[in-house]
Amino acid sequence: MMKGCSDRLEMVRSYLVDETYRDALLVQSELLKGLRETLDAKGFVEILPVILSPITDPLNHEVFDASVEYYGQNYAVTKSMILHKQISVLVHEKIYSVSPNVRLETADKADSGRHLFEFVQLDMEVAGASRDEIMDVMEDAIIYAIRNVLSKYPWVKEKYHPTLKVPAKPFKRITVKEAVEKYGEAFESGLSKDIDEPVWLIDIPLLNREFYDKQDPERPDVLLDFDLIYPEGFGEGISGGEREHEYEQIIRRMKLKGTSPEEYTDYLELAKQGVLKPSAGCGIGIERFTRYVMGLEHVRQTRLFAKVPGESAL
């Protein structure tokens, strides 16, 4: 049930009385700075986000449609900049964007603690990179950002998250196959509750991801991609991988997933003409990263004007 006007005003009142919001915004600002500084020092170029486009990430799960009609053209509201990232790396080899995403999730996600129907991810991509290189960059970025927060705001530990540590490099890795053997079907939450530092979940099964993550040519049932799983039950915080760029293969992958090629004509034309090149990258959810570092119950506590699935927002 949609919450009404008084709840929305209550939300604003809580900004004024609950110091968690003030603290979370300080931490978030510092985390973003840490991520940006790491990528900037590695030669990345920050590009501006795309909000409306004829094409966007189809996502691997159903959300309500979000699009606008403008002079006869239908523009989707960005679910992720993945397809634009693949084109952007043709201009600058290493790019990132602090990208607002709208995913109109179903109301059952309200209490997951991890979902907002509008959120921000730092979405990065590198031309010609391997999965390992992307994971390495993100380990540096996460370690630097957390260290940065803890040196500036040491109260984060005592006041909010006493068990928080600066993770050590390299982060451990586990394949989805191993995780299923160990934790069963709910492997993502099983893994997350079992670990005390972030762990990479790799080799995601072919049909569990969108068409753009690269199929491993040597093991065709898995993808050369990854999620980062935060410890202590905070769950998934990053998705990424190597990308498909060849026309025939993209079409094959779209058909396997039931994605209609007709909706992606411009993108497919670029692939057909050989314009798309190999790349790899990922996106880190900013509200989820903040929630984990702060040790909070729900991402709604990490930003102003949070839009929780199924609730009416200000």
Q: State the residues that interact with Mg ion by CB under 5 A.
A: 239
Rule CB under 6 A: say whether 86 interacts with ligand ASP: no
Sign, Cα dihedral of 294, 300, 306, 307 = positive
Among ligand ASP, Mg ion, none, residue 309 binds (CB under 5-8 Å by kind)? none
Among Mg ion, ligand ASP, none, residue 105 binds (CB under 5-8 Å by kind)? none
Task: List beta partners, residue 75.
Answer: 68
Nearest distance, CB of residue 242 and Mg ion, angstroms: 16
Rule CB under 6 A: say whether 235 interacts with ligand ASP: no
What phi and psi values does residue 117 have, to the nearest 5 degrees?
A: -85, -5
Contacts of 188 (CB under 8 A, 6+ apart): 179, 201, 227, 229, 235, 236
Rule CB under 6 A: say whether 223 interacts with ligand ASP: no
Find the part of the chain contacting ligand ASP (CB under 6 A) among 112-120, 154-162, 276-284, 291-299. Answer: 276-284
Question: Exactly one of 24, 27, 35, 82 binds ligand ASP (CB under 6 A); which one?
Answer: 82
Given the complex with Mg ion, which of 28 and 239 has the nearer CB atom?
239
What CA–CA distance (Å, rounded) separates 44 from 83? Answer: 18
Nearest distance, CB of residue 12 and ligand ASP, angstroms: 29
Are the C-beta atoms of 135 and 226 separated by less than 8 Å? yes
Among ligand ASP, Mg ion, none, residue 141 binds (CB under 5-8 Å by kind)? none
Question: Exactly one of 80, 88, 148, 192 binds ligand ASP (CB under 6 A); which one?
Answer: 80
Nearest distance, CB of residue 212 and ligand ASP, angstroms: 7
Beta strands in 114-197 (DSSP E): 118-127, 172-175
Contacts 24+ apart (CB under 8 A), 263-272: 263/55, 264/55, 264/83, 266/54, 266/55, 267/55, 267/83, 270/87, 271/245, 271/246, 271/247, 272/247
Rule CB under 6 A: say whether 139 interacts with ligand ASP: no
Token readout for 109 is 């996600």
Among Mg ion, ligand ASP, none, residue 281 binds (CB under 5-8 Å by kind)? ligand ASP
Rule CB under 6 A: say whether 105 interacts with ligand ASP: no
Specify the residue for token string 């129907």.
117
How long is the chain? 314
Nearest distance, CB of residue 224 and ligand ASP, angstroms: 12
Given the complex with ligand ASP, which of 34 and 240 has the nearer CB atom?
240
Contacts of 81 (CB under 8 A, 6+ apart): 49, 50, 57, 97, 99, 101, 123
Give contact residues for ligand ASP (rule: CB under 6 A).
80, 82, 121, 123, 239-240, 281-283
